Structures are given as structure tokens and as C-alpha cells.
Structure 1
């Protein structure tokens, strides 16, 4: 069997293969209440039918004004739990596992009347100027992450991912580019570590906690890979079991920091993080070619492969990839005659 289709286990999470559907916002909440609807149900369950090992539900926010837009998902109220549980139960019926990404957009909350952030620094001229959170509000924010995690556990998710990448709130706190505070949260990893510890307290001991992190920033004065590794080490110490390695998102990309847009362009970040942290990592970044995805696992550059846009184009990417690589994969009986 090719490496991409070997099983994988971390704690009590057992995956039938190494294929991950990463979080990708759908902007499809119609009532602006943050609750998944039939679109989300079809979107996620179809990828389970398509053979994906692990599905990660899109950025799901801890408060209404923490969303990128008012059409994004949230998990700030108990009455939202049943809609998520419906998705989780159906994904499980088709043999896949499912996690959820918990987050807050911070200064990138486009529809918030006044976004909040570590410091009052605008993302760009197209965005509103945020208000700096008070020390007490930061502590309250940690509790909002805690309560969202509690709801995710009650909905039956197999793992939780925290969004610490792409210029959203946790990233904003751990970057000197966006954190100019003078209180205790000027310590760059303090907020993220407190969120991790709070979320861990709500999770079963054997449920994995994943963190998506930008390994490096793309603005000229942003942090570099060595700094990203140091951040991840602090978060590992706080309780993260696996990292989902991305990059950038905190501002306009400087030409000198551009990694290119070729296939597998972020794999070196995943490789470096995996070696330095000695924990499993998920690689991202134009890995939709099955042979490249397979080689990335086979070369031990990453443990799992996230296929984003490729899976938006093809809900059955995992089935098709296995077929191209010559592997047998469990097929829905209704589709077997096609193969």
C-alpha cells in the first residue's frame, strides 16, 4: 500500500488514510446565526463518501464578531450543537473522522462594527481599525475558546484544531508585527498557550489537539521559520499534539519573502517543523497531485496531507488518488461498478 493510504493513529484518533480536508470557509450561513445548514451538511458528508481520512470543519468562531464575515460559522451557543452533531454523525457513518477548527478573526473580522485585536493596528486600508482588547477582555476571550471547545466535544468531534495562522487572533498575539501590548500579554505565546490549556481542560485526555500555525510570515519585518519553530515549541509544551503547517496571512507579501506558488511550496516548512518538534504534522500547499502527496508522506516530510482547493474541485479526490496510485480503497457499494 502506498504511504498516503496507510492508516494513521494519534492518541485515540485512528484514520484510515493520510488524506485531510483542511478548513476552507464556505461563507454560506444564510441567517447570520453561525449555524451549519444543508450546504455544510452536503459539503462535508460528500468528502466522507469520497474517502477522506480526516475532515476539518472550516474556521468556526467563538463569538459573532469574531467571524470573518456574518456568513461564517460559529460555536458560541449551545443551541448550535445539534447542527454540528448531525454532520459529525453522518461523516462517521461513511468511515471518516472529523475535527473542527475553532478561531477568532481578530482584526480581520470584516463585518464587526469594531473589530478587536491585541493592538489597534489595521490589517490594511481596506479593513476597519480594530480596538485593542483590555487585559480582562483577553482573559474573557480565553474562556470563549474554552466554551466553544466544550460544545465541540458535546457535538462528537474526533479532534479540535485551533487556528493560530493566517493573521487571525492567536497569530496576532504571537507576532511582534501585530502585538505591541505592554501588559502580561506582550509575552508573545501567553494568549495562545492559555487558550490551549483552557481547551485541553474541556477535551477528553485521549482526544488530539491540533494547531494550525504560520511557520513564517511573509511581510518583510515578520518572523521567520526559526521563530515559528520556537512558537510551536511553546505551544507543544502547552498541550498541542499535532501541527498543521501553513504560512503567511498577516499582511501583504514582500517580494523577498515570497516562497513561490509551485506544487508543494510549503512542504519545506512542514519538514522543518516535524524534525524540530518531533510531533506529527499536516502539510499543505498545492499537494493535489496524488504522486506528490504520496511522496511527501513517503519521504517523511509530513504525516498527513491536506488537499484544499483540489478537494473543492473534487469531493472524491481520495478515491481518485487511490485509483491513480493503484491502491485499493473502500468504495461506497453504489459506486463500485464505476471502478
Structure 2
């Protein structure tokens, strides 16, 4: 059940102003969600994206963040990623339409449109990652995903099948990636977006630099915040001060990954000095996907780290970045508590935005309908964690496609049905052929 009741102090519908001067009409943010709607092999937004984001644009959100837009078409995640090539004019036209879709609401209620920029690094898989079979993904160091997994033989086999040993980046290659991020931000600005968010969480490339378990470099990039700082500085030097810049960081890299609270404070202070407007606290990666699941434990974990971030920015002398907490927030009571207990300034809502695209409007109008009815998706105990977490991802991508095509979400959809629909969107004979192809590839690999 939901209500729009607020505790004393800040409420979800109170406005918030970023250091760049942009104002959110409320503190509820549609967090980034992978859509799986682009063409196979990655590409620009299509009519499905426009329809989906128009729903969110009309939903009363203070800010809408796109799913991760890859700056490298050779480093896709699940094969149907949004990709941005700054030099392709047709790409700019498509992304301009996406910004317009997010801005579809009236000027009084329209959300800020934020493009999330990402590079998947070593988490770009074989076969569907956008590369030839012999081409390796890149990473700060040459450590394959799952190499140190403590799961059983099945999990280690799946990791070995899906992911290659990456190529450790040379300094000049890192400089090129920094330039690619800055160019992508310029393109987002030219397309009409109000800002960008750098994806430095969920184990993707920027998060890999921040992780001690992945980054064993001995140069200046041993301090992983360096690459993020250089990207932010490049964007700030190239675009108007009113253009919003956010960074999504991984709580696990600090609390579980060996960095600690001291480094967290230092990194947050660095980002603030560079001119970041908001910092989103999230977590999880392909080796710890349980932190991307919907659990109360995850919400407590992220809240604890967001408190650290809030304390770090509280003492800053100038305009401070706003802290956005994402993960596990499901009820108005949790929203109010997060704001009034100083856990966060902004509330990131990903999966709830799929279950109820107009959630902020419903809460504002006092709708007491049970609008958040999450599915209970359970995987067998012997399932590798990565596969188990992927069931939830599949379920929500299928629901996003239903929303985009004008259908109601299907709460009766099982996890197995969702995985089948996500990966094999054909019928009859084509599904059988696709399944046989996948099995053949797996058997061929395991026979090597």
C-alpha cells in the first residue's frame, strides 16, 4: 500500500537544486535500467526506447536517467545495448529524439534528462560483446571475471565460457578512453540532454579502476579515481556550467573491495572539487551479483555507505554534490526515512519505475493502490549467482518491452519464461534452432 504522507522535514516531493543550478521538481529519480531494446550488436534508440521513455517522461519524475549507453561498440554487455558514436550524425538525431521523449511532459513538470555513459571493460562477454572471437576486452589489469570466484565448478565453468582474459590498458589507451567519454558527453549536450552520469559501478570499466581486486597497476591510475576525475574535468572544461554531471559509484568497492572509509571520503571530496553535481550510491558486479538483487540486506548496506557519503559532503565549503541512494527503496516510509535520516538527498528507483512508470504522480495524488508488487523470483540453490541474478534482469527487461509496446506488465511471468523471452524472442522452429546453437557453442568450448 502507498500513501504520500511525509515525515517532518524533507519529503520525496520537495524540490532539489544541483550545484550546476538545475532544479529537480522532486527527489524521486528514475534510476538507470538496462533495456535490452536496441538492435542486436548495439545501436541508437529506436521507437521502442522512445515509447518507453515517453512513459517515464510523463510519470512525474524529478530526473530520468537512461540505461547505460556504451561509448565503445566493441564492449557491449548483453548484446542489445544503446551505443553512442559521437561522429555519426544519424546517431545524434536518434538520441535527440530520446531526449525529447524524456522531456515530453509540460515545462512545469518535465524531468531532467540524464544520459548514463558507460564502458563495460572486462565484463563485456564473448560472442555478444561486439568483438571478434580473438579480440580481447580491455581492463585496468589482465584479470578475468570470475578468476577468483569461490563458487563451485559449474560457476567457474560459466565464467570461463562467458568471459575472456582482458588486455591491460596502456596509458595512451586510457587517454583515448577519457577522450571518448568527454566526446560522448558533448554529444549528449548537443542532443538536448540536461546532463550525463558516468557509470562507475556494477563492475564496469570505471568501477574496475576503483576496485583493488581488479586494479593492480603501478602507475598514476593505481588510484582509480584519477580516470574518473580526468573525465569530469574534461567535461567541465568543454561544456557550459549548467550541464549536470553525475557519477554512479559502487559501495562494494569501498566496504568490501579493500578501499575503506578514508578512501571513500577522499574520492568524494575529489569528485566534489571537480564539479560533480550528484553521486549515486549503488553496488554489485558480475562476481557479486547478489548486491544487484532486491533485498532488504542490500538496502541496509547501501544506506550505510550513503551515510558515509553524506558526512563527507556535509563539511565541504562550497556547493556540494547531492547524494543519491539507489537499491531496495520500495515504500513511501522508506523514502521519507532515507531523506530525514540524512541517508541521501535523492531517491533512485529503478525496478519500481518499471512496475509503476508514473509512481511519483500516484504518490503525489495520494493513490493508496498497491502499486509496487514485486515478483518473487527464486532460483535453485545450485544456480551460480550470476545466472540467478540474471533472472531478475530478464524479468524486468521483458516488462519494459511490454510497456514500450503499450501492454500492461505481466506479474504472472515466471523467471524461466522471462529468460526465454529475453534471449530467444522468436517462436517455434527458430527457438529450437537458437537453443541448439547455444548448446553447441557451450559443448564446443568445454571440449577444448
Same fold per TM (> 0.5)? yes
Structure 1, residues 217-244: CA drift from partner, whole Å, max 9, x if none? 3896533344333322222223322201
CA 1:169 to 1:130, structure 2 compared with 1: closer, same or farther past 3 Å?
same
Aligned residues: 324
Distance 1:235 1:250 in 2: 25
2:46 counterpart (37, 44, 47)? 37
The partner residue of 1:192 within 202, 225, 228 is: 228
Is the contact between residue 122 and residue 144 of structure 2 (CA under 8 Å) also seen in structure 1? yes
After superposition, give the CA deviation of every residue in 1:36-68 in whole Å (9 maximum; x if it has no partner).
111111111101212111000111111102321
The answer for the alignment partner of 1:233 in structure 2 is: 269
Q: Give per-residue Cα distances to partners, 1:285-329, cap 9 Å, x unaligned.
A: 111212211232233321110111111111111122223479xxx
Q: More displaced, 81-90 or 140-149? A: 81-90
- The Cα shift of 1:114 comes to 1.4
Determine if the alignment matches structure 1 residue 106 to structure 2 residue 114. Answer: no
Task: Report the 3-state secondary structure (helix = DSSP H, G, I; strand = E; otherwise coil) of the residue aligned with 2:177.
Answer: helix
Deviation sequence 1:174-229 (CA, Å, 0-9, x none) = 22211112333223322121111112223211222111011333896533344333
* Of 5, 24, 46, the match for 2:13: 5
Q: Distance in 2 between matches of 1:322 and 1:117?
A: 44
User: Quick one: structure 1 residues 82 and 32, their matched pair in 2 at CA, closer, same or farther if it must change by over 3 Å?
Assistant: same
| Counterparts of 1:232 and 1:220, CA distance in 2 | 17
Tell me the secondary structure at the aligned position of residue 83 of structure 2.
coil
Q: Are 1:96 and 2:96 matched, yes or no? A: no
2:199 is paired with a residue of what secondary structure?
strand
Q: C-alpha separation between the residues in 2 aligned to 1:72 and 1:220?
A: 29
The answer to whether 1:224 aligns with 2:260 is yes
Q: TM-score, normalised by structure 1?
A: 0.88
Q: Which protein is bigger by CA-based radius of gyration? A: 2
Aligned-residue offset at 1:146: 1.0
Moved more, 190-199 or 136-145: 190-199
Moved more, 142-151 or 273-282: 273-282
Tell me, yes or no, if the aligned pair for 2:250 and 2:281 is still in contact at 8 Å. Answer: yes
Q: Deviations over 1:78-111 (max 9, x none)?
A: 3311111112123223022210111101101121
**Of the candidates 143, 162, 175, which is equivalent to residue 121 of structure 1?**
143
Kindly report which structure 2 residues correspond to 1:50-199, keeping only aligned pairs within 5 A, or say none.
50-77=59-86, 78-79=88-89, 80-94=91-105, 95-110=110-125, 111=129, 112=131, 113-124=135-146, 125=156, 126=159, 127-199=163-235
Q: Distance in 2 between matches of 1:170 and 1:53?
A: 26
Q: Does the Cα contact within 8 Å between 1:51 and 1:318 map onto a contact in 2?
A: yes
Evaluate the alpha carbon distance shift between residue 154 and residue 259 of structure 1 in structure 2; reply closer, same or farther with a 3 A threshold: closer
Give me the TM-score of the superposition, normalised by structure 2: 0.67
Contact 2:189 2:243 (8 Å CA) reproduced: no
The answer on 1:299 being equivalent to 2:341 is yes
Residue of structure 2 in register with 1:261 after alignment: 296
Q: Which runs of 5+ in 1 are unaligned?
A: 327-339
CA distance in 2, matches of 1:250, 1:318: 31
Quick one: structure 1 residues 315 and 119, their matched pair in 2 at CA, closer, same or farther if it must change by over 3 Å?
Answer: same
Q: Does the CA-based 8 Å contact 1:101-1:160 persist in structure 2?
A: yes
- Contact 1:283-1:305 at 8 Å conserved across structures: yes
CA distance in 2, matches of 1:26, 1:150: 23
Cα RMSD (Å) of the superposition? 2.5
Partner Cα distance (2:336, 2:43) in 1: 36
